[in-house]
Amino acid sequence: MIPGLFKRPEFWMWVVLLFFAAYPAAGDKVLGFQFIPLFIYAILALGLNVVVGYTGLFHLGIAAFFGIGAYITGIVTVRTFPFQYSFLVAVPLAVLGATLFGILLSGPLLRLRGDYLALVTLGFGQIVIYAIRNLESITAGTQGLTPILPPLLPESLEGTTKHFGIEATWRAYPIFYYMCLGLLVLVLLLLRNLERSRLGRAWVAIREDELAAATMGLNPARLKLWAFALGSALAGLAGCLYAVALKSTAGPQAYDFNRSVITLVCVVLGGIASRPGVLLGVFLIIGYDNVLTPILDNELQLSGINPEGKQYLRLTGWRLFIFGMALILITRFRPEGLIPAQRGEERAAPKGGP
């Protein structure tokens, strides 16, 4: 039983998460800060995996819901507006707002498939970007909303009044680190239970053969609506954490098509419909982008290979090229991803094999 347990990708997924949980006790604080975006993008990629992996819908606009969650957080917390809510209020508002936009988007898309669905979600992402850019009185245009420094609890629960200009201690390392990691663990547990539920099996049936699933009494439109709603909700949650971690919404360019594609690459690289695979894809792609390349660029500059910091010798300038090549190689030589889902492994197994 134990050797079989070691072969399960989910076992090693929890081992890696346990490592991240123990890291702040002995690890470097600066590197620990760089791990926080990994947890946030993992939640975003898991949300996209609900739509692309479980349901088989081609979604190219996940960054729009990521941005919606971030900007809702900014609107309800910054001092520019009269709301100035706490973090525990901003989180459900961001999730609910992104979910509502996901439902509104999925309404006209329920009968679309394949390339047509991808084009509409891509168009929605562009609409959100230009809406953020042009609604300057609400979103501050290309500058973004800043500073986002909400208290953790409402003032009525804190017992003392805190000014928003003072950074609360809960956002300091490692408290916020554990908060993001804990939310990631909760999302993983939620999705594991959904995979084994009636809804999860219905999503898989829609992905495998929508017509056959409909003849068996399933409602494809309702199931797609649930998938879009859950995927948008997780993207909104990730956007909320991103804005709080950055202390700003950043500009609309932070939620463009490149963000959606990079998230999709994480899902495809790790393994579509595979929770451990999605985490592996995020740790490889986002870890390379946020953690490894700054270290390597600094080493290249200090070693004398790139003393002037020329762009063509910086790995950060080649990241989209590297991501594209990784996607091409994976789709060519391992289309099921690095850690395929269980059903993917069964399809990939040779006939007559175990």
Q: How many angstroms separate the CA atoms of 192 and 189, rounded?
A: 5
In a domain, 61, yes or no: yes
Amino acid type, 12: W
pLDDT of residue 310: 75
Tell me the per-residue pLDDT of 163-205, one tens digit each, with 9 for 90 and over: 444 456 788 889 999 999 999 999 999 999 999 999 999 999 9
Domain count, the chain: 1
The separation between CA 188 and the C-alpha centre of its own chain, rounded to angstroms, equals 12
User: What is the pLDDT, as a whole number, of residue 14?
Assistant: 93
54: left (phi over 0), alpha (psi -120 to 50) or beta: alpha
235: nearest Cα among 208, 202, 198, 260: 260
Written as one string, the DSSP assignment of 149-218 is: ---SS-HHHHSS---TTSPPGGGSTTHHHHHHHHHHHHHHHHHHHHHTSHHHHHHHHHHH-HHHHHHTT-
In angstroms, the CA 354 to CA 336 distance is: 18
How far apart (Å, rounded) are the C-alpha atoms in residues 228 and 245?
25
pLDDT attached to residue 166:
45
Q: How far apart (Å, rounded) are the C-alpha atoms in residues 188 and 180?
A: 12
pLDDT for the residue numbered 157: 67
Burial 157-168 (b: 16+ CB within 10 A, else e): eeeeeeeeeeeb
CA proximity to 263, closest of 233, 293, 235: 235
| Cα radius of gyration (the chain) | 21
Q: Please check whether residue 319 lies inside any domain of the structure.
A: yes
Measure the CA–CA gap between 275 and 46, rounded to whole angstroms. 7
Instruction: Record the tokens describing residue 269, joined without a space.
Output: 């690289």
Provide the pLDDT for residue 5: 67
CA distance 58 to 207: 11
Angstrom distance (rounded) from CA 227 to CA 210: 14
Q: How far apart are CA 115 and CA 291, in angstroms?
A: 34
The pLDDT, as a whole number, for residue 309 is 66
DSSP state for residue 289 in the 8-state scheme: I
Rounded distance between C-alpha atoms, residue 263 and residue 66, angstroms: 11
**55 domain residue, yes or no:** yes
- Is residue 349, in this structure, part of any structural domain at all? no
Which residue range is the domain that position 302 belongs to? Answer: 2-21+31-344
Supply the pLDDT for residue 105: 86
Q: What is d(CA 300, CA 31) in angstroms, rounded to the nearest whole number? A: 19
Q: Is the pTM of this model over 0.75?
A: yes
What is the DSSP secondary structure assignment for residue 53, as one 8-state letter?
I
Decide if 26 is inside a domain.
Answer: no
Task: Report pLDDT for 344.
Answer: 42
- Where b means 16+ CB within 10 Å and e means fewer, 191-213 reads beebbeeeebebbbbbbeebeeb
pLDDT at 352: 40
- For 291, which DSSP code? I
In this predicted model, what pLDDT tens digit does every residue of 27-38 receive, in sequence order?
888 889 999 999
327 occurs within a structural domain: yes
Amino acid at 2: I
pLDDT at residue 295, as a whole number? 83
Residue 351: the pLDDT is 40
Predicted confidence pLDDT, tens digits, the chain (354 residues): 556 667 788 999 999 999 999 999 888 888 899 999 999 999 999 999 999 999 999 999 999 999 999 999 999 999 999 999 999 999 999 999 999 999 998 888 777 877 888 899 999 999 999 999 999 999 999 999 999 999 998 876 655 445 444 456 788 889 999 999 999 999 999 999 999 999 999 999 999 999 999 999 999 999 999 999 999 999 999 999 999 999 999 999 999 999 999 999 999 999 999 999 999 999 999 999 888 888 888 877 777 776 776 777 778 888 888 888 888 888 889 888 999 987 544 343 334 443
What pLDDT is recorded for position 171?
Answer: 85
Decide if 218 is inside a domain. yes
The CA distances from residue 209 to 56, 203, 205, 275, 340, in Å, are 10, 10, 6, 22, 19
What sign does the dihedral 183-235-267-351 (CA atoms) show?
positive
Query: CA 101, CA 125: separation in Å to the nearest integer?
Result: 11
Assigned domain for 354 exists: no
